[in-house]
Chains A and B, each alone.
Chain A
Amino acid sequence: MSRFDADDDDVVVVVGSGAGGGTLANELCQRGIRTVVLEAGPHLTGKDYHNDEWQAFSQMAWTDPRTTSGSWRLATDFPTLPAWIVKAVGGTTTHWAGATPRFKEHEFRIRSTYSDIDGASLLDWPITLTELEPYYDQAEVKMGSSHLHGRPPLPANNNYKVFANGAERVGYRRYATGPYATNAEPYDDRPATVQDGFNFQGDKGGSKWSTLVAELPKAEKTGKLDLRPDSHAVQILHDTRGRATAVLYTDSEGTLRRQRARVVCVAGNSIETPRLLLLSASALFPAGLGNSSGQVGRNYMRHTTATVWGQYDQPVRMYRGETMAGCIQDESRLDTSRGFAGGYYMQTIALGPAFFASFVAPGTWGPDFTSHMDAYRDTAGMWIVGEDMPQADNRVTLNDGVLDQHGLPVANVHFDDHPNDVAMREHAQRQGQAVYEAVGAKRTIVTPPYPSTHNLGTCRMSERPVDGVVDRHGRAHDVPNLFVSDGSQFTSGAAANPTLTIVALAIRQAEYIAGEYRRQGA
């Protein structure tokens, strides 16, 4: 691993090594740009991981304190755990499942398409699907998305068989085992999946795409990467002209260090990214770095989600095999006659008994609860993921009353469901139940949202600086050498799982930054 000098002011500093940061770093290194990656978490690899839900969670998840407010049910069920995010090299791509649908054309233009929706802060993206398509192609090739670019589909597992047969019987036609970024056969120097079922934990085999196994090792080979684990960015510094100059971070010993930078890119996921900008307030930027619009932290989105389970009088064993290799697309269409704007996907999901017990019906106990558990082996599961409405007051702020281990105010995540979100969730729950009942479920169970795995929108892209935080390349409207490189950039959430789009945007951003280096003569 290369090590660049702390006073070297020609490097790009990337905060976070997940989908956005890890991809961006590799793409910059491939273009010859020296890149320092600051990652708050440790450098764990496959052999460190546990095939065990709670052990893996305690080892990898971001459990630094956070707080919640608002009317969303998570504030009751999991008040200190608004999000399920990883704190380790590779970020949440080490826990992600691998579903990689693209945004649809109209999902970049929700203001124009859905017109005004009361209480929602709808805005069109400053970019179009056509502009992003070449980068989607590159992202899918990079990630080895199944069904596409010559990659074969994954086979049907048990959970999928129930899901797909139910889909067929209720009249759905657009269902498949992907696109899904896990190898059905060896690809990109990584093996085929052994169907071990531990997708949400940390993949011991490396058949699943993550920045840990795919992007960062490639970046390292260029000699241009300086990856610093256990390095928590606490502030971004700037000069009198308002250009970012350096990042302050704590190392594994808790010592504060400074890395100078020519460009700073923030990719800490949509809760930590706005937190870092807010923590970087100064005399010149009193409301937080890059926050003259007041939009930093606002428009937080988390997708409209739910889980539906079907229980049968025959075994399913949903936990065997790839967790999310199953997707029904039919309800992702543009069709406001259903009583809500936006669409949703249905995807297979499986949990072990340990997580199933905690999430199936939070807070409940007694014979009803245990009868759910007794049917564990005979249970099939699906997850709902749909577009939620951006709202100005759904928002990440600093909670000065609660400090983390570094003495920094923690993030508070405030969220109220929009009536559109509620209508979509209820529709999706009914459709999910219908799918399972169509193949003979003797009982269906509807489960409320888990801690958010998709966190989006808190530094959104906008054409005009007053409407958002960053421009069409993810560059801060207020600070010319500051970029946001993760899902915080999303102007809207679409129905699709976000990671493919985060990766596509990161490739595009790297190209842009490299162009700037060339223009300025690096």
Chain B
Amino acid sequence: MTLLTDHDTVTLVRLLKMAYPHEAFPDGPYERTAQAVLAAVAGAPRQLAQLIQGLHDLDELREVPFAELDDDTALTVLRGIHEAAFFKNVRGVAVVALYDDHEVWDLLGYEGPSFDKGGYVDRGFNDLDWLPEPKISIEEASA
């Protein structure tokens, strides 16, 4: 990706962290999501053009580059551009890629594929214990 600089990638990663902030997430998932965004626009010249322009514009909106803004200011900046086509495109890819990331599944407490492990029949499909056991059939009032 020669048209986008390393600085652009840094801006993009920062944008993703601000748009999808999770205290518990390390950088890895955001960096992989940024790569997914770049891969998606690689074959779409119009979207790539909008991304180049959009990331550049982000740096112009305040005194300092976007990647150096504090969290509150960065969020305010994003709210201001939330209708921008490039930002919508980024979100369209990111909401799929970020939450399809297996490290993210782990962090959110999702266990992924299960059939090959025998399903959950012996691994806690019914282990919730903070509520009483409910009935599972309707008792018809005797007619």
Contact of B128 among A161, A356, A358 (CB under 8 A): A161
B135 and A164 contacting across the interface, CB-CB below 8 Å: yes
Complex Cα gap A164–B138 (Å):
11
Contact of A51 among B19, B24, B116 (CB under 8 A): B116
A366 and B119 contacting across the interface, CB-CB below 8 Å: no
B110 and A377 contacting across the interface, CB-CB below 8 Å: yes
B115 and A51 contacting across the interface, CB-CB below 8 Å: yes
Contact of A365 among B95, B119, B137, B138 (CB under 8 A): B95
* Known pairs A176-B137, A195-B125, A376-B109; A439 contacts B99 (CB<8 A): no
- Could you say which of B99, B111, B116, B132 has the most chain A C-beta atoms within 10 Å of its C-beta? B99
Complex Cα gap A372–B112 (Å):
19
Contact of A161 among B91, B111, B121, B133 (CB under 8 A): B133
- Chain B hits for A160, CB < 8 A: 134, 136
Q: Which of A182-205 contact B (CB under 8 A)?
A: 193-198, 204-205
- Chain B hits for A54, CB < 8 A: 96, 100
Q: Which residue of B lies closest to A329 (CB)?
A: B138
A333: min CB distance to chain B, Å = 14
Complex Cα gap A52–B114 (Å):
10
A195 and B120 contacting across the interface, CB-CB below 8 Å: yes
Q: Is A65 an interface residue, CB under 8 A from the partner?
A: no
A315 and B109 contacting across the interface, CB-CB below 8 Å: yes
Complex Cα gap A376–B25 (Å):
14
- Could you say which of A53, A154, A316, A370 has the most chain B C-beta atoms within 10 Å of its C-beta? A370
A357 and B21 contacting across the interface, CB-CB below 8 Å: no
A196 and B120 contacting across the interface, CB-CB below 8 Å: yes
- Chain B hits for A363, CB < 8 A: 91
Q: Is A347 an interface residue, CB under 8 A from the partner?
A: no
Q: Is B45 an interface residue, CB under 8 A from the partner?
A: no
- Chain B hits for A329, CB < 8 A: 138
Q: Is B41 an interface residue, CB under 8 A from the partner?
A: no
Tally A-B pairs: CB < 8 A: 149
A196 and B119 contacting across the interface, CB-CB below 8 Å: yes
- Chain B hits for A197, CB < 8 A: 114, 119-120, 125
A436: min CB distance to chain B, Å = 12
Q: Which of A128-147 contact B (CB under 8 A)?
A: 147
Give per-residue flags for B9-44: 1 if the beta carbon is below 8 A from chain A beta carbons, else 0: 000000000011110100000000000000000000
Q: Which of B91-143 contact A (CB under 8 A)?
A: 91, 95-96, 98-100, 104-105, 108-116, 118-121, 123-128, 130-138
Q: Which residue of A lies closest to B94 (CB)?
A: A365
Q: Is A464 an interface residue, CB under 8 A from the partner?
A: no
Complex Cα gap A369–B98 (Å):
13
Give per-residue flags for A70-102: 1 if the beta carbon is below 8 A from chain B beta carbons, else 0: 000000000000000000000000000000000
B134 and A365 contacting across the interface, CB-CB below 8 Å: no
B124 and A320 contacting across the interface, CB-CB below 8 Å: yes
Q: Is A239 an interface residue, CB under 8 A from the partner?
A: no
Complex Cα gap A157–B78 (Å):
41
- Chain B hits for A320, CB < 8 A: 111, 114, 120, 123-125
B70: min CB distance to chain A, Å = 15
B120 and A156 contacting across the interface, CB-CB below 8 Å: no
- Chain B hits for A176, CB < 8 A: 135-138
- Chain B hits for A315, CB < 8 A: 109, 128
Q: Is B75 an interface residue, CB under 8 A from the partner?
A: yes
B119 and A195 contacting across the interface, CB-CB below 8 Å: yes
- Chain A hits for B133, CB < 8 A: 156, 161
A356 and B99 contacting across the interface, CB-CB below 8 Å: yes
Q: Is A153 an interface residue, CB under 8 A from the partner?
A: yes
Give per-residue flags for A153-174: 1 if the beta carbon is below 8 A from chain B beta carbons, else 0: 1111110111011001000011
B118 and A165 contacting across the interface, CB-CB below 8 Å: no
Q: Is A374 an interface residue, CB under 8 A from the partner?
A: yes
The list of the 10 closest CB pairs from A to B, nearest first, reads: A194-B119, A377-B109, A164-B134, A51-B113, A196-B119, A321-B125, A357-B99, A320-B120, A158-B128, A195-B125
Chain A contact residues, CB within 8 Å of chain B: 50-54, 147, 153-158, 160-162, 164-165, 168, 173-177, 193-198, 204-205, 314-317, 319-321, 329, 352-354, 356-358, 363, 365-367, 369-370, 373-374, 376-377, 439
Query: Can you give 18 A-B contacts (C-beta < 8 A)?
Result: A147-B137, A160-B134, A176-B136, A177-B136, A195-B120, A205-B115, A314-B130, A319-B110, A357-B95, A358-B95, A358-B96, A365-B19, A365-B20, A366-B78, A373-B22, A374-B24, A374-B108, A376-B110
Given contacts A156-B134, A369-B20, A373-B108, 13 further A-B contacts (CB under 8 A): A51-B112, A54-B96, A155-B136, A157-B126, A158-B125, A158-B128, A164-B136, A176-B136, A319-B110, A356-B99, A366-B75, A370-B21, A377-B108
